[in-house]
A and B are shown apart, each in its own frame.
Chain A
């Protein structure tokens, strides 16, 4: 390794590149707001808390010189990170909770697969192995340890009703099919799957075999999830580095994150 490749040099090079805009930071997170939809389960189950804010004081009698809020949310509220313990298949894995995952897991390259045209036509669009292989023909093999991010432009649906997209048959949002998940986990060794929708799994994934493959298979193999991402359309198909660090919650199954990407140029 030459002097110019020394770790210290690399780091200062990053700072220089950020200062000169040769490296840009892209914000991949939705605003944590009471209006943002949260995942809804059938009523007989307990629910994930929506994001709520209670003002403590606002430069007033309750606190004259300061403004602050008490906030409450579930571990899976808003743009959030899923740890492997979130699913039953991952419950016995070591270092699989938000406080025990190595911090190294929180920085990884990202492959962005653009399914926005298909998702616009079909809310139940499923990402298949064929589609992934076709992507690889263009952009190269999916590197081990990278995120597979499914761009659908679903984050541009700002109306909560359209974002949730329920009807009498349940939710209709795009996601990966079972084979695609198996492929990504076993054939490509991804670190995890990220989506713009409310879950990494498709809205109708309850009916797949196994149900919820992106949770069951990914987490069962110690892989991670990112949901409710946005601005994936600002990322290149390859080359971006995603930084997504969950809160270090004791035995946490996940947490809201400020997910960002470092992008060249």
Chain B
């Protein structure tokens, strides 16, 4: 039985900080392709286009017919646990701190043997008896895909398993900063994280003299603290980081300026500059001020710092001309988030990018449905953290545009003209 997660005890300040380490992170190119699909929330295995052979680990050719036409097929993960060991010793620093460790061999229904972590609730492996398990793929702390076998049916506190928690960023008992707690998405995010069991939700407030309806109620929710945060003012960002940065476990950057202008329909660059100042430079300021403490604390307790979430936009991938400068600012933020992911890698902090389509708020009044409700966006963000994925495309529009973008970004460019 998995023990329910306990709150981390306050750190003894005279003991040295436990430094984050990572599992081995080197992978072949074919294995990186597998990691990419896991990062996007899919569990697929390599499949031969010509003979249908399923194979693992990923290869450069079919192990059966040598074809180089390899595709990826979703698999259920159902399999039979045929052997297990309890590792007491490892040469890897990351695992030295985490032994004893259950590892197992699972024979998947597709006829492939996979080496996996074993969830604590999996029954003991038997050679002569079928022990059904469900294998899932998650990103490990090094940001690379790894397999873990779960019990065949859900068990109490299943998500609290130690190794599963290494691969995910559950908000439970964590301290979360929502950079703009005031906007419609911000209020929904604050509420969603309170509901997900966060110990503290800091709601960032800019321009306090402007308080939209609903914010007062949100600020009075349990565990919510309103904090001043002006993303255009580096001093404000630094001051807040100086005050709470050493405690933030999850940072959700939802602050944005969103206007509906292209190039020729507005003279001057002030609106575009205001969009860039928050959507791009705001991210840069936050990353500089909050990044170091977030990275340093990534292994400091059983509930360490864990994730950085960027609310981007599907239009970061392909511009919506009617919101052209907004799209450009989100594209800039997207590019910067790739660098952020690289810089967070050494600490095992997961950078989650959210690419919604139009959100049902005051800035999309002229866009027709379907639009994403702020509450739905917030729910998708919390789920992404619990699932440990990297990139999500919540809502029908985002899913549709992402599919099209993957098929051909050049075709989508023209389709966006009529959006």
Contact = CB atoms under 8 A, between A and B. Distances in A.
Q: Do A and B bind each other?
A: yes
A224 to B, nearest CB: 25
Interface stretch (A91-99, A127-135, A159-167): A159-167
A24 interface: no
Interface string A48-65: 001011110000000000
Q: Which 10 pairs show the lowest CB-CB distances between chains A and B?
A: A164-B209, A34-B233, A46-B270, A161-B209, A161-B208, A166-B209, A34-B235, A46-B271, A52-B233, A160-B209
A21 interface: no
B207 interface: yes
Nearest to B213: A168
A15 interface: no
| Chain B interface size, under 10 / 10 to 19 / 20 to 34 / 35 or more | 10 to 19
A40 B235 CA distance: 21
A90 interface: no
Contacts of B225: none
Interface of B: 207-211, 230, 232-236, 268, 270-271, 274
A54 B209 CA distance: 24
Main secondary structure of the interface of A (DSSP, over half): mixed
Contacts of A50: 230, 232-233
A155 B232 CA distance: 24
A256 interface: no
Contact of A46 (B207, B208, B211, B268): B268
Contact of B210 (A34, A40, A52, A54): A40
Contacts of B233: 34, 50, 52
Contacts of B232: 50, 52
B209 A34 contact: no
A40 B274 CA distance: 14
Given A37-B209, A40-B210, A166-B209, A54 B271 contact: no
B234 A54 contact: yes
A160 B234 CA distance: 18
A160 B205 CA distance: 13
A50 B230 CA distance: 11
A47 interface: yes
A165 B271 CA distance: 25
Contacts of B234: 52-55
Nearest to A159: B208
Given A47-B274, A50-B232, A53-B234, 17 more contacts: A34-B230, A34-B236, A37-B209, A40-B210, A46-B268, A46-B271, A47-B270, A50-B230, A52-B234, A53-B235, A54-B234, A55-B234, A160-B208, A160-B209, A163-B209, A166-B209, A166-B211
A166 B210 CA distance: 7
Contacts of A54: 234
Contacts of A47: 270, 274
A19 B129 CA distance: 102
Contacts of B230: 34, 50
A168 B210 CA distance: 9
A166 B233 CA distance: 22
Interface residues of A, number: 16
8 contacts: A34-B235, A40-B207, A40-B209, A50-B230, A50-B233, A55-B234, A160-B209, A166-B210
A222 B329 CA distance: 41
A161 B210 CA distance: 8
Contacts of A163: 209
Interface string A161-177: 10111100000000000
The CB with the most chain A CB atoms within 10 A, among B207, B209, B211, is that of B209
A40 B210 CA distance: 9
B265 to A, nearest CB: 13
Nearest to A74: B270
Contacts of B207: 40
A55 B237 CA distance: 14
A164 B209 CA distance: 6
A237 B209 CA distance: 32
A50 to B, nearest CB: 7
A94 B173 CA distance: 66
A68 B294 CA distance: 29
A164 B235 CA distance: 21
Nearest to B230: A34
A7 B105 CA distance: 101
A90 B268 CA distance: 22
B246 to A, nearest CB: 22
A37 B274 CA distance: 17
B242 to A, nearest CB: 15
**Which of B233, B234, B274 has its CB near the most chain A CB atoms (within 10 A)?**
B233
Contacts of A164: 209
A165 B236 CA distance: 22
A93 B45 CA distance: 76
A34 B228 CA distance: 12
Contacts of A160: 208-209
Contacts of B211: 166
Interface string A97-116: 00000000000000000000
Nearest to A165: B209
B77 to A, nearest CB: 49
Contacts of B208: 160-161
A182 B64 CA distance: 94
A47 B268 CA distance: 12
Nearest to A163: B209
A72 to B, nearest CB: 10
A166 B212 CA distance: 11
A165 B211 CA distance: 11
A50 B206 CA distance: 12
A256 B208 CA distance: 23
